[in-house]
Structure 1
């Protein structure tokens, strides 16, 4: 889950960006940001917790993964492994994968602090370093998918490593949010760009001229087509409501916006 846009000392562009450029920007961005992210949000996430988004919906409440006991589970975009530790606490055999080396260092730190270790791999969603049909469940809690240009490749890779009947669940920024400024206040309630404009959001470092951050938008219909095209059957679409007593501001997510419009979408799909 990213912070408010734009990052300091950058200029914002809207233009096509390929997978190589996206990966080259977002990996180093998360390496730079990992310490701040864990310091700011670690207590909210919990070292052994499973939160699907800024609304605070937990897997205990949502139950989208089903029973993970005895199952092989892959977390794509695992960060510091908080969700994977929850899976292990509930009897699953989790593996985490992330593009950021620094995030995986935080995962190792929490392994040592909690005594609940999760194996992790440095890698990308478009090239999962696992054999075919290796997992019963693949999930991604605000992880890699929004940062991937070749999303059809990432979905195909997920299908490849899942066993028949396996489950794929992921949370993303709700696609309707693309219409609005990423502002937690009232300016974030006024639509200022087309929902159907899929041009990537790009940040360029003013000092170096290099792309430093990329995020990609897909509509709800795009996600349906992607999943169906890869052989998935969508079973649920969860749009968490903002709790009345929840005052946390997380980037563009806030009570001001959350009580009026969805900020998170959770897709749940089974293979075959």
Structure 2
């Protein structure tokens, strides 16, 4: 089974995101695996007028939220089912585009540059950082921001067969790796889980300046 087929099977079985959050909002950005928990888009700074790339865009909901704030967005995902769902839900939103393509293939072929690059439980977690990070860095505008989240090291959760190893790193390891690939102002931390839950979320932000 190919990588795309594995992720597509996983995507088809995934639970759809809610249409409205606890505040009654139709769009919002969620960095963690828990509903209505954790920081919002202010981690990224202002969104208006910025070009955003999401690697592993899933249903497109996080990217759509940034577009409603004035950004333009491109979401790439290796699973065809993800693009189908994203287009059905967000296809009429101006300034938003989705493509089915593997992250390193897209970054190797595009000549676009981006102000913000996101990976929320996405490609940064599953692709060798020594392969992916130089490609991301090469497509970022000066002063651009890379931000990503994933489960902390040692956490377990379901993943597609043949999806490859997760690249779990501690905050200190991410700081060293990102700085080694030309990023600066690296801020890596663990977000505590909600009450009654045991597993937090790793959140990392770095600058391309």
- TM-score of the two chains, using structure 2 as the length reference: 0.83
Alignment of 1:75 with 2:54, yes or no, is yes
Cα distance in 2 between the residues matched to 1:240 and 1:44:
24
The answer on 1:63 being equivalent to 2:42 is yes
Superposition pairs of residues 100-119 of structure 1, within 5 angstroms: 100-112=79-91, 115-116=92-93, 118-119=96-97
Match of 2:12 among 17, 28, 35: 35
The secondary structure found in structure 2 opposite 1:31 is helix
SS of the counterpart of 1:74?
strand
Q: Go from structure 1 to structure 2 and tell me whether the alpha carbon gap of 1:202 and 1:214 turns closer, same or farther (over 3 Å shift).
A: farther
Distance in 2 (CA, whole Å) between partners of 1:152 and 1:126 is 11
**Judging changes above 3 Å, is the alpha-carbon distance between structure 1 residues 242 and 50 closer, same or farther for their aligned structure 2 residues?**
same
Unaligned runs of 5+ in 1: 1-20, 184-200, 204-210, 245-254
Q: Which of 219, 225, 237 is the aligned partner of 2:169? A: 219
Q: Provide the aligned length of Structure 1 versus Structure 2.
A: 200
For residues 39-80 of structure 1, what are the alpha-carbon distances to aligned partners after superposition, in whole Å with 9 as ceiling and x for unaligned? Answer: x241188663311111343553x6211101001111111011
Gaps of 5+ in 2: none
TM-superposed deviation, 1:202: 9.3
Instruction: Establish whether residue 130 from structure 1 lines up as the match of residue 110 from structure 2.
Output: yes
CA RMSD, Structure 1 to Structure 2 (Å): 2.6
SS where residue 257 of structure 1 aligns?
A: coil
CA deviation after TM superposition for structure 1 residue 163, in Å: 0.7
Choose 1 or 2 for highest CA Rg.
Answer: 1
Q: What SS does the aligned partner of 1:138 have?
A: strand
The structure 1 segments of at least 4 consecutive aligned residues displaced by more than 4 Å after TM superposition are 44-47
Which structure has more RCO (C-alpha within 8 Å, separation ≥ 6)? 1
Aligned residue number for residue 166 of structure 1 = 144
Residue pair 2:126, 2:167 contacting (<8 A) in 1 also: no
Q: What TM-score, normalized to structure 1?
A: 0.65
The DSSP-based 3-state class of the residue aligned with 2:84 is helix
Distance 1:79 1:35 in 2: 11
